[in-house]
Homo-oligomer: A and B are copies of this chain.
């Protein structure tokens, strides 16, 4: 059982996607996180659900957690308003976001170790070219990896 055998198709959003639409996709499909592709369709970032929640937070709360307590209930209830009309890219964590990825020949142990170390419930499987961006084969989720290991 290698990463290529475990990779599955996964709904992705683009950095251009409306941020509210991206959150809706996660909620409606019960996804463990968002796979974000760049405008060329190449995987760009993986946002576990807790990082999607982070995109809702005002920057001042992200920078100083103590300030979460000063936001009153009516404002807190309308966190999603900040996303309306904004592209997902505008709300991504600063700097180049993180994309946990494995090559197709990785074993279940290597995938499990990468999930545990990166604390990501999703790993992108990407076949590396000698040059070029590589070919995206799909995603291994923690739930799918555990399911396949239970069956083995």
Q: Is the CB of A80 within 8 A of B27?
A: no
Within 8 A of B (CB), among A23-71: 23-24, 26-27, 30, 32, 48-54, 56-57, 61-62, 65, 68-69, 71
Give the residue among A49, A62, A120, A141 with the most B Cβ atoms within 10 A. A49
A contact patch SS: helix
Nearest B residue to A120 via CB reads B50
How many copies are assembled?
2
Residues of A within 8 A of B (CB-CB), count: 55
Considering the chains assembled together, what is the distance between the CA atoms of A30 and B1 in angstroms?
22
Tell me which of B27, B75, B80, B113 contacts A57 (CB under 8 A): B113
- Whether a CB of chain B sits under 8 angstroms from the CB of A109 is yes
- A73 vs chain B, min Cβ distance (A): 5
Q: List 14 A-B contacts (CB under 8 A).
A: A1-B73, A1-B76, A48-B119, A49-B143, A50-B119, A50-B120, A51-B119, A52-B142, A61-B109, A65-B117, A68-B109, A71-B107, A75-B109, A78-B149
Q: Which 10 A/B pairs are nearest by Cβ-Cβ distance?
A: A54-B116, A49-B142, A76-B107, A68-B113, A76-B109, A71-B109, A76-B108, A77-B152, A49-B121, A68-B110
